[in-house]
Every structure is written in C-alpha cells, then in structure tokens.
Copies of this chain bind each other. A is one copy, B any other.
Amino acid sequence: MIERMTIPGFDAIVQAAERIAGHAHRTPVLTSRHFDQRFGAELFFKCENFQKVGAFKFRGACNAIAALPAEQGQRGIITHSSGNHGQAVALAARLNAYRAVVVMPDNSARVKVEAVREYGAEPVFCAPGTQAREEAVQALVRQHGYTFIPPYNHPDIIAGQGTAARELIEQVPDLDIILAPVGGGGLLGGTAIAAKHLAPGLRVIGAEPANADDAARSFRSGRLEPASPEQTIADGLRTTLGPLNFAVIAAHVDDIVTASEAAIVREMRTVWERMKIIIEPSCAVPLAALAENDLDIDGQRIGIILTGGNVDLDALPW
C-alpha cells in the first residue's frame, strides 16, 4: 500500500484544517518566564494537551475519517491502539456518526478501555504484540468492510497533524525554530511540511527519547533503522518511524536530537510545577532535548508542540 502513498503538500494541510474546523480545538499558546530564563530564548508552547481527547492525535484521525467517502465511513472504522490514537479515532468516528472498533491488547489498562468506550467505540481484544494486533484488524476488515485508520503512516494523518504547526505559526509570528517529538513521525512530518512552506528559514527539529532513537539514527544514516531494544517512559513515542513519515522527515527536517529518561521525567515535572499544566512524558521530550543538547538557541523564538496530557494520575514517574 505504501507504494501508492505520496508525501502530502501544504495544500493537504490547508484542506485538513478545513475538514477539522468545528471539531478540533484551536489550542492556545502559553509562555513561561521560567523556561525563557533558563534557556535564554523565547519559548512558545502550543498546547495540544488541551486538544480533544487530550492529544494532537485527534487532528490526524479527524482528518483521515472526514476524508472518507460517506458510504465507506458508514461501513465502519477500525484501528489498533491502546493510546491516544485509539481515543482519537473513536471520537472522530462518533462525530461522523460512524461505527468504530478499536483493537487493543487484552492486557490494556482498564482506564484506556473505558476511555475508548466513553468515546463511543467498541474495544475488541487481541493477544499482545504486533502480529496478533494486525491479524485481528485484517480479519475484521475482511469480515465487515471496515476502513483501517493508521496511526501515523498515511498522508491524511500527516496532513492532519500538520495543522497544529500551521496554527502555531499563525499565532506566533517570526519563529526561528519549531521542536516536536518524533515517534511514528506523523506529527514531525506534518510540522515540517507546514513550517517549510510558511517560513522556509524556520528550522524544524525533532526530539526523541535516547532509548527509542530509531528516528535519529534513520535521519543520520539515510535509511530506516530498526527499533531500539530499550524501553522509554515516553509511551507515545515507542512506535518506530513509518516509511512515508521518514521520507517527509528526510526531505524537510533539519535535525533530530535525543533526551535521556531522567531529563524527560525532570522536565515533565518542571512543566507541571511552573506552568500548572499536565503533560505526558512524551510531551516533555523536546524540553528535555533542549536541556541536554547544546543547540544554538540563544535569543531565538522557539515553538514547542506540547503533544498531549494523558497521564495515569495514580502512577506518576516521581
């Protein structure tokens, strides 16, 4: 299927913005004296933790589902995810009055299962692991004619995620740098397409956990590298880079930097304490990467996409 996919252009992001308007929030941009002083720069935080379902993922899912012909959507939507993408698909399907099924590993946390149900989708359980998950999806697609909404490796997903950076650039003129986390690469890819079209001199930098640095390694080697064996607390970034996303990133992104697990937890907590907003571990990776890498940011205006705020308040990492 990947052969038929092409890298979306900025027009796809404009179209995505039109499709999701009225559904997705135009999230606010916050600033923080603390971080400005620490980094000697001006930081602008695009608060996708305030987005519907608590994460930017709603943008891509909403765009991909709104792009379907109605007769296709009416046959039903399916995805696999125990995280933000599953909730995003569930809600986006409901807003279109489409039936949605979310395939989840049978060891998923109950709160995640409940969240999918609350957004109106039907959880279907499979054994943990990639193969069982994909087989479950394929069987249901064959049986019911559902349409699969992938989490990141798709032009409609990339274009939807790119609407966040487009808004940020409208909200904050004259940015020098945009930082976004990279896991599967949908957000970073869409961010780069939007940024390079609207402000070609704007540098786009991805941030990745050092423990899950396949995007950084792929960026440097020029080919898709395998996943790292280590675990990261940044659960939203445990996915490996998608091939379409890699093509976008190789073409448009300026650098990918990494952050240690300790710095991710530290900066997550600092955002909670200083900014009084809740971000999830994945969301702290750009700040952690700023803290640990000697980037040339002195006096620059830096946009940071805060990707999500879905955290288990009974299991905080401190």
**In the assembly, how many copies of this chain are there?**
2
Interface centre among A276, A277, A316 (most CB of B within 10 A): A276
A313 touches B276 (CB 8 A): no
Q: Separation in Å of the A199 CB from the closest CB of chain B?
A: 26
| A276 CB contact (under 8 Å) in B309, B314, B318 | B309
Asked if A154 lies at the interface with its beta carbon under 8 angstroms from chain B, I say no
Residue of B nearest to A54 (CB): B276
List chain B residues, Cβ under 8 A from A49. 276
B276 touches A272 (CB 8 A): no
Residue of B nearest to A47 (CB): B276
List chain B residues, Cβ under 8 A from A277. 276-278
Asked if A296 lies at the interface with its beta carbon under 8 angstroms from chain B, I say no
Asked if A243 lies at the interface with its beta carbon under 8 angstroms from chain B, I say no
A276-B49, A277-B278 known; A318-B314 Cβ under 8 A: yes
Q: Separation in Å of the A136 CB from the closest CB of chain B?
A: 29
B309 touches A318 (CB 8 A): no
C-alpha spacing A278/B276, complex, angstroms: 5
Please provide the chain A residues from 274 to 312 with a CB less than 8 Å away from any CB of chain B in the complex. 275-279, 309
C-alpha spacing A279/B278, complex, angstroms: 10
Asked if A127 lies at the interface with its beta carbon under 8 angstroms from chain B, I say no
A313 touches B273 (CB 8 A): yes
Asked if A145 lies at the interface with its beta carbon under 8 angstroms from chain B, I say no
A313 touches B269 (CB 8 A): yes
| A316 CB contact (under 8 Å) in B30, B50, B273, B313 | B313
Residue of B nearest to A273 (CB): B313
List chain B residues, Cβ under 8 A from A309. 276
A276 touches B50 (CB 8 A): yes
List chain B residues, Cβ under 8 A from A273. 313
Asked if A28 lies at the interface with its beta carbon under 8 angstroms from chain B, I say yes
C-alpha spacing A276/B50, complex, angstroms: 6
C-alpha spacing A50/B271, complex, angstroms: 12
Q: Separation in Å of the A191 CB from the closest CB of chain B?
A: 21
Interface centre among A30, A273, A279 (most CB of B within 10 A): A273
List chain B residues, Cβ under 8 A from A279. 276
Residue of B nearest to A276 (CB): B309
List chain B residues, Cβ under 8 A from A50. 30, 275-276
> A6-36: contact bitstring with B at CB < 8 Å (1 yes, 0 no)?
0000000000000000000000101000000
Write the residues of chain A forming the contact surface with B, with a CB cutoff of 8 angstroms. Answer: 28, 30, 49-50, 54, 269, 272-273, 275-279, 309, 313-314, 316, 318
14 more contacts with CB within 8 A, not counting A30-B50, A276-B279, are: A28-B28, A49-B276, A50-B275, A50-B276, A54-B276, A269-B313, A272-B278, A273-B313, A276-B277, A276-B278, A276-B309, A278-B278, A313-B316, A316-B316
Closest 6 CB pairs of A and B: A276-B309, A276-B278, A49-B276, A277-B277, A50-B276, A272-B278
